[in-house]
Copies of this chain bind each other. A is one copy, B any other.
Amino acid sequence: MRTGGPGRPQADARELAAYDELIRRSREQALLASCSSLLGWDEQTYMPPGGSENRGEQTALLAGLQHERATDPRVGELLGTVEGSAVVSDPESPAAVNVRELRRTFDRLTRLPRSLVEELARATSKAHLEWVAARQAHDFELLRPSLETIFRLKRDEAACLDNGEGEPYDALLDEYEPGAKSSELAGVFASLREELVPLVSAIAGASRRPDPEILRRDYPVDRQKVFAETAAAAVGFDFHAGRLDTTEHPFCTGIGPGDTRITTRYDPRNFSDAFFGVLHEVGHGLYDQGLDPEHHGTPMGEAVSLGVHESQSRMWENIVGRSRSFWNYWFPLARQVFRDALRDVSLEAFHFAINEVKPSLIRVQADEVTYNLHVLVRFELERALLSGDLAVNDLPSAWNEKYLRYLGVSPGHDGEGCLQDVHWSAGLVGYFPTYTLGNLYAAQLFDRAWDDLGDLPAAFSTGQYGGLLGWLREHVHRQGQRHHSAALVERVTGNPPSQEPLVLTLRSKYSELYGF
């Protein structure tokens, strides 16, 4: 009997050799990228200040090498040989997925003219310094001209990348969330907004209030470290294949199989920042540690999208980490470790405090309910900026108007308004929505896991996370890029991505906490 089943055509030697060469090149690219990742990690953790100029040159050299290899016409030839051949006849096979995604990347990179890439690099490099100055001086005018240039260039970029389907914004979104369509997102996000705005109002009007001051007592840094590392290891982060370090800005970076590094920062007068920051990065890290090592360096061994990545971090940070059942187990330990701070605090008070909801101006400090409204503001604005429906000049007033409408707060100045994020000045347009997609996917996936696994809160109450982690490994991590995010969610949960699971989760949790 022939392998491949009756009737299925056989790939010839040339096609198989082309596929093998593609994979070898993909793995080399991944190795080079992993060297860049280490340079980046070191820059944030241990590099002495004097090393930054040399680090810039190292990083640029490796980036240049990677770009040169990624856009090598030979890759196009190899893809041409393999596409349509029997190598990729089963569209869900690893080979077909790899070829599909290698083509996507090759086209993205080769469609952008070198002049545009360089112009964008210059514009964003200039804009970064202006953004720092503008935010500090609360003066949008310092950034405005560069921001106009950047949005003009991003329109050019979208035009180069555009495949004729959907609006130009989709071409940018595709870099972070492959296959996502902004028209679909806009529908889901609008429905989400319509549910969240009244939920935030209901919380604001509730008579029960948490006491967040109990989280701002003395939490000695050395004890925070031990406590956070213990929790990270307990939920499944493998310290044999990873590290936790201290940096100014927390992040997670995968150096390669067996080497996933997360970071956090500690404030001796704030329990939540480091602890939930660690759980967040652990969520990213678990995804990274759960990727299939057999497929490392190829799309089948890589994360699907920023949105799915964020779903993992948000699930561990919020759905697991801020749940009552999680603290049934950990609060008695926390009281031992932080004896002075928590002596007079009950589990109920603690759990309420870590779930305080309060509309605010700054996205990165927002709670899990209002956070999405910050993101929706940015999604709506950047989409309008890109299409030209909104002029850059009108951004501050449009920003302030939306904050007032969705969150009921008004920035005192643009520094705490439209200048707070680095993204746009860095040329990142289409990135923001992935934060909220992460929250949506997290809620939807978690509901399904709960259905499949039975009583998850009971497991968390006894410090058991293996069931959930195993489920995520199987249904998400090991899938690599087999499906794009929306298809992945639909396959796993039976429904396309929707705002409903998140809305139901939040409404149920917060009506109980705040009593309305």
Contact partners of A261 in chain B: CB under 8 A: 48
Q: Is A160 engaged at the interface, CB distance under 8 Å to the other chain?
A: no
Contact partners of A32 in chain B: CB under 8 A: 61
Contact partners of A242 in chain B: CB under 8 A: 48, 50
Task: Report if A255-B54 is in contact (Cβ < 8 Å); known contacts: A42-B38, A46-B243, A243-B48.
Answer: yes
Contact partners of A49 in chain B: CB under 8 A: 240-241, 258
A258 touching B54 by the CB < 8 A rule? Answer: yes
Q: Is A277 engaged at the interface, CB distance under 8 Å to the other chain?
A: no
Q: How far is the CA of A6 from the CA of B65 in the complex (A)?
A: 45
Q: How far is the CA of A34 from the CA of B59 in the complex (A)?
A: 11
Contact partners of A239 in chain B: CB under 8 A: 48
Q: How large is the interface on A (under 10, 10 to 19, 20 to 34, 35 or more residues)?
A: 35 or more
Q: Which of A42, A53, A239, A242 has the most CB of B within 10 A?
A: A42
Q: How far is the CA of A54 from the CA of B242 in the complex (A)?
A: 13
Contact partners of A39 in chain B: CB under 8 A: 35, 38
Contact partners of A58 in chain B: CB under 8 A: 31, 34-35, 38, 256
Contact partners of A47 in chain B: CB under 8 A: 255, 259
Looking at chain A's contact residues, is the secondary structure mostly helix, strand, loop, or mixed?
helix
A258 touching B42 by the CB < 8 A rule? Answer: no
Q: Is A62 engaged at the interface, CB distance under 8 Å to the other chain?
A: yes
Q: How far is the CA of A239 from the CA of B47 in the complex (A)?
A: 11
Which A residues between 329 and 367 are near B, CB-CB below 8 angstroms?
Answer: none
Q: Is A51 engaged at the interface, CB distance under 8 Å to the other chain?
A: yes
Q: Is A105 engaged at the interface, CB distance under 8 Å to the other chain?
A: no
B54 touching A259 by the CB < 8 A rule? Answer: yes
Shortest distance from the beta carbon of A262 to any chain B beta carbon, whole Å? 11
Q: Is A238 engaged at the interface, CB distance under 8 Å to the other chain?
A: yes
Which A residues between 19 and 50 are near B, CB-CB below 8 angstroms?
Answer: 28, 31-32, 34-35, 38-39, 42, 45-50
Copies per assembly: 2
Q: Is A191 engaged at the interface, CB distance under 8 Å to the other chain?
A: no
Contact partners of A108 in chain B: CB under 8 A: none
Q: Is A467 engaged at the interface, CB distance under 8 Å to the other chain?
A: no
Q: Is A55 engaged at the interface, CB distance under 8 Å to the other chain?
A: yes
Q: Is A257 engaged at the interface, CB distance under 8 Å to the other chain?
A: yes
Contact partners of A62 in chain B: CB under 8 A: 35
Contact partners of A240 in chain B: CB under 8 A: 48-50
Q: Is A397 engaged at the interface, CB distance under 8 Å to the other chain?
A: no
Q: Is A125 engaged at the interface, CB distance under 8 Å to the other chain?
A: no
Task: Report if A31-B46 is in contact (Cβ < 8 Å); known contacts: A38-B39, A51-B255, A256-B51.
Answer: no
Shortest distance from the beta carbon of A31 to any chain B beta carbon, whole Å? 5
A46 touching B46 by the CB < 8 A rule? Answer: yes
Task: Give the residue name and chain of the B residue nearest to A61 (CB).
Answer: B31
Task: Give the residue name and chain of the B residue nearest to A240 (CB).
Answer: B50
Q: How far is the CA of A256 from the CA of B28 in the complex (A)?
A: 25
Contact partners of A118 in chain B: CB under 8 A: none
Q: How far is the CA of A257 from the CA of B54 in the complex (A)?
A: 6
Q: Is A184 engaged at the interface, CB distance under 8 Å to the other chain?
A: no
Q: How far is the CA of A62 from the CA of B38 in the complex (A)?
A: 13
Q: How far is the CA of A58 from the CA of B39 in the complex (A)?
A: 12
Q: Is A57 engaged at the interface, CB distance under 8 Å to the other chain?
A: yes
Contact mask A233-260 → B, CB, 8 Å, 1/0? 0000011111101000000000111110
B54 touching A256 by the CB < 8 A rule? Answer: yes
Task: Give the residue name and chain of the B residue nearest to A258 (CB).
Answer: B50
Contact partners of A93 in chain B: CB under 8 A: none
Q: Is A230 engaged at the interface, CB distance under 8 Å to the other chain?
A: no
Q: Is A495 engaged at the interface, CB distance under 8 Å to the other chain?
A: no
Q: Is A52 engaged at the interface, CB distance under 8 Å to the other chain?
A: yes
Q: How far is the CA of A61 from the CA of B47 in the complex (A)?
A: 23
A34 touching B54 by the CB < 8 A rule? Answer: yes
Contact partners of A53 in chain B: CB under 8 A: 257-258
Q: Given B28, B48, B243, B258, which contacts A61 in the complex, CB threshold below 8 Å?
A: B28
Contact partners of A243 in chain B: CB under 8 A: 46, 48
Task: Give the residue name and chain of the B residue nearest to A296 (CB).
Answer: B54
Q: Given B35, B52, B257, which contacts A35 in the complex, CB threshold below 8 Å?
A: B35
Known: A28-B61, A38-B39, A38-B42. 17 other contacts (CB 8 A): A31-B54, A31-B61, A34-B58, A38-B58, A42-B42, A47-B255, A48-B239, A48-B261, A49-B258, A50-B238, A50-B240, A50-B258, A51-B241, A51-B255, A54-B258, A57-B256, A58-B256
Interface residues of A (CB under 8 A from B): 28, 31-32, 34-35, 38-39, 42, 45-55, 57-58, 61-62, 65, 238-243, 245, 255-259, 261
A-B residue pairs in contact (CB < 8 Å), sample of 22: A31-B58, A32-B61, A35-B39, A35-B61, A38-B38, A38-B39, A38-B58, A48-B241, A48-B243, A48-B258, A49-B240, A49-B258, A50-B240, A50-B257, A51-B241, A52-B258, A53-B258, A54-B257, A54-B258, A54-B259, A55-B259, A57-B256
